[in-house]
Amino acid sequence: MTQEKIWTAALIVIGDEILSGRTQDKNIAQIASWLNVQGIRLAEVRVVADDMALIAEAVNILRARNDYLFTTGGIGPTHDDITVDAVAAALGVEVVIHPTARAILEKYYETRGGLNEGRLRMARVPQGAELIENRMSGAPGIRIENMFLMAGVPHITAGMLDALTGTLEGGAPLLSVTLGAWAPESEIAGVLRDAEKAHESCVIGSYPFFRNGTVGANFVVRSTEPHDLETCRVALKAGLEAAGYEVTDGGI
């Protein structure tokens, strides 16, 4: 039996607006879900301030220990958009104007007041970079080595992810199946642990909730092995029923 390679990615969320609490991040969940479909596991996320040294530090650590590194934020037209500079510094390369990016922006802003200094910033890339298509708002994302520099605004990020779909090498997609029960998590911790231990390729997550005055939980079994997933699901369901709980397939 061969051990399949597990493909991993890290994400750096760049921006004072997340750390100040002003903006609720939506890109972590969006990128995590997208990566699952590509057969890549999101292994770690860091949220860092708009600070060259901190971004460069995170870039160099995370790109070395993962197959891919994504960043969101900091590639817009304003003075606090420094992701390109930080990544170039981390790689030890120059920042250059990408001619295709410049042409895209010239065309996009032709009917929107023309290119100015701020807008031209969005054509800047670390030397050697390729572009990621932005179907929403002109300014492209940036691909260099194993890194993908994406917009911070979630619907623009979504468009860039869409453009990348199917282009990254990944492993078997992570499959999941959900069971739900009106059980206090603390009553059935042993059942979960036993089911997980008996199925090595599976992990079981437990997600408690409190609704209409009653506690319950959904249990998500994850595996890249369809057969293991199914036997683990059956064992978990049997365990929960043996503990006296009715089980809802697909979750509550």
Rule CB under 8 A: which residues touch a copy of itself? 13, 16-26, 28-36, 41-49, 54, 76-80, 109, 112-113, 116-119, 121-122, 137, 153, 174, 176, 184-190, 192-193, 196, 203-208, 210, 220, 222
Strands 130-132 and 141-144: antiparallel
3-state SS track over the chain: CCCCCCEEEEEEEECHHHHCCCCCCCHHHHHHHHHHHHCEEEEEEEEECCCHHHHHHHHHHHHHHCCEEEEECCCCCCCCCCHHHHHHHHHCCCEEECHHHHHHHHHHHCCCCCCCHHHHHHHEEECCCEEECCCCCCCCEEEECCEEEECCCHHHHHHHHHHHCCCCCCCCCCEEEEEEECCCHHHCHHHHHHHHHCCCCCEEEEEEEEECCEEEEEEEEEECCHHHHHHHHHHHHHHHHHCCCCCEECCC
The smaller minimum CB distance to a copy of itself, of residues 114 and 128, is found at: 114
Taking the complex as a whole, how short is the minimal distance between the CB of residue 50 and a copy of itself, in angstroms? 8
In whole angstroms, what is the distance from residue 136 CA to residue 139 CA?
9
Taking the complex as a whole, how short is the minimal distance between the CB of residue 85 and a copy of itself, in angstroms? 14
Q: Hey, what amino acid is at 180?
A: G
The smaller minimum CB distance to a copy of itself, of residues 48 and 88, is found at: 48
The smaller minimum CB distance to a copy of itself, of residues 93 and 102, is found at: 102
Taking the complex as a whole, how short is the minimal distance between the CB of residue 126 and a copy of itself, in angstroms? 20
Taking the complex as a whole, how short is the minimal distance between the CB of residue 23 and a copy of itself, in angstroms? 7
Q: What angle do CA 64, 33, 27 make, to 5 degrees?
A: 75
The smaller minimum CB distance to a copy of itself, of residues 116 and 127, is found at: 116
The smaller minimum CB distance to a copy of itself, of residues 107 and 127, is found at: 107
Taking the complex as a whole, how short is the minimal distance between the CB of residue 118 and a copy of itself, in angstroms? 3
C-alpha neighbours within 13 Å on the C-beta side of residue 175: 14
The smaller minimum CB distance to a copy of itself, of residues 93 and 245, is found at: 245
The smaller minimum CB distance to a copy of itself, of residues 53 and 127, is found at: 53
Instruction: Write down how long the chain is.
Output: 252
Taking the complex as a whole, how short is the minimal distance between the CB of residue 191 and a copy of itself, in angstroms? 10
Taking the complex as a whole, how short is the minimal distance between the CB of residue 43 and a copy of itself, in angstroms? 7
